[in-house]
Chain A
Amino acid sequence: MTESSTIAISLKDVTIRLGGRTILEDFNLEIPAGRVTAVMGPSGAGKTTVLRLATGQLRPDHGEVWIGDTRVDRLDGKSLGRLRRDIGVLLQNGALFTDLTSFDNVALPLREHTKLSESLIRRLVLMKLEMVGLRGAADLYPAELSGGMKRRIATARAMALDPKIVFYDEPFAGLDPISLGVSLRLIRDINGALGTTSVVITHDVREVARLADHACIIADRRIIATGTPDELAASEDPLVRQFMQGEPDGPVPFHYPARDLDEELLLQEADS
Chain B
Amino acid sequence: MSTAAPRTALTAPVRELGRAVLFLLTAFSRMRFGRRQFAEILRQVYFAGVRSLVIIVISGFFVGLVLTLQTYDTLTRFGAADAVSTVLALSLFRELGPVLAALLFAGRAGTSITAEIGLMRATEQLDALDLMAIDPMERIVQPRLLAGLIALPALVLIFNVTAIVGGVFFAVFLMGSDPITFWSNMQSSVELVRDFGGGLLKAVCFGFVAAWLAVWFGWSARPTSEGVALATTQTVIATAIAVLILDFILSAFML
For residue A113, CB closer than 8 A to chain B, the reply is yes
A95→B36 contact, CB < 8 A: no
What residues on A are CB-neighbors of B125 within 8 Å? 95-98
Q: Given contacts A95-B123, A111-B36, are A89 and B133 in contact (CB under 8 A)?
A: no
In angstroms, Cα B134 to Cα A267, docked, is 56
B127→A95 contact, CB < 8 A: yes
Using an 8 Å CB-CB cutoff, how does the interface string of A234-266 with B read, 1 for contact, 0 for none?
Answer: 000000000000000000000000000000000
Most buried by A among B123, B124, B132, B135: B132
**How many chain A residues touch the partner (CB < 8 A)?**
22
Closest A residue by C-beta to B128 = A95
B124→A84 contact, CB < 8 A: no
For residue B130, CB closer than 8 A to chain A, the reply is yes
Closest B residue by C-beta to A154 = B128
Q: Which B106-140 residues have C-beta < 8 A from chain A?
A: 123-125, 127-128, 130-135
B132→A84 contact, CB < 8 A: yes
- Out of A85, A91, A98, A157, name the residue touching B133 (CB < 8 Å): A85
In angstroms, Cα B125 to Cα A112, docked, is 16
What residues on B are CB-neighbors of A80 within 8 Å? 133
Q: Which B6-49 residues have C-beta < 8 A from chain A?
A: 36
B127→A112 contact, CB < 8 A: no
In angstroms, Cα B134 to Cα A81, docked, is 8
Q: Which A52-104 residues have C-beta < 8 A from chain B?
A: 55, 57, 80-82, 84-85, 87, 89, 91-93, 95-98
For residue A108, CB closer than 8 A to chain B, the reply is yes
For residue A109, CB closer than 8 A to chain B, the reply is yes
- Out of A89, A111, A112, A113, name the residue touching B128 (CB < 8 Å): A89
B124→A112 contact, CB < 8 A: no
What residues on B are CB-neighbors of A55 within 8 Å? 131
B127→A109 contact, CB < 8 A: no
A92→B130 contact, CB < 8 A: no
Q: Please tell me the size bucket of the interface on B.
A: 10 to 19
A109→B124 contact, CB < 8 A: no
In angstroms, Cα B132 to Cα A98, docked, is 16
A91→B134 contact, CB < 8 A: no
Q: How far is the CB of A196 from chain B (nearest CB, A)?
A: 16
Using an 8 Å CB-CB cutoff, how does the interface string of B131-166 with A read, 1 for contact, 0 for none?
Answer: 111110000000000000000000000000000000
A57→B130 contact, CB < 8 A: yes
Closest A residue by C-beta to B119 = A98
What residues on B are CB-neighbors of A57 within 8 Å? 127, 130-131
Q: How far is the CB of A265 from chain B (nearest CB, A)?
A: 32
What residues on A are CB-neighbors of B131 within 8 Å? 55, 57, 84, 87, 89, 91
A113→B127 contact, CB < 8 A: no
What residues on A are CB-neighbors of B36 within 8 Å? 111
A84→B133 contact, CB < 8 A: yes
What residues on A are CB-neighbors of B134 within 8 Å? 108-109, 112
What residues on B are CB-neighbors of A92 within 8 Å? 124
Q: How far is the CB of B241 from chain A (nearest CB, A)?
A: 31
What residues on B are CB-neighbors of A96 within 8 Å? 125, 128
Q: How far is the CB of B159 from chain A (nearest CB, A)?
A: 28
A91→B132 contact, CB < 8 A: no
Closest A residue by C-beta to B139 = A112
In angstroms, Cα B128 to Cα A85, docked, is 12
Q: How far is the CB of A151 from chain B (nearest CB, A)?
A: 12
In angstroms, Cα B125 to Cα A21, docked, is 26
Using an 8 Å CB-CB cutoff, how does the interface string of A26-64 with B read, 1 for contact, 0 for none?
Answer: 000000000000000000000000000001010000000
Add 5 more A-B contacts to A57-B131, A91-B127, A95-B123 (CB < 8 A).
A57-B127, A82-B133, A91-B131, A108-B132, A111-B36
Residues of A within 8 A of B (CB): 55, 57, 80-82, 84-85, 87, 89, 91-93, 95-98, 108-109, 111-113, 157
A-B contact pairs, 17 of them (CB 8 A): A57-B130, A81-B135, A84-B131, A84-B133, A89-B128, A91-B124, A92-B124, A93-B124, A95-B123, A95-B125, A96-B125, A96-B128, A98-B123, A98-B125, A108-B132, A109-B134, A112-B133
Please provide the 3 A-B residue pairs with the shortest distance between their CB atoms, ordered closest to farther.
A95-B128, A95-B124, A81-B133
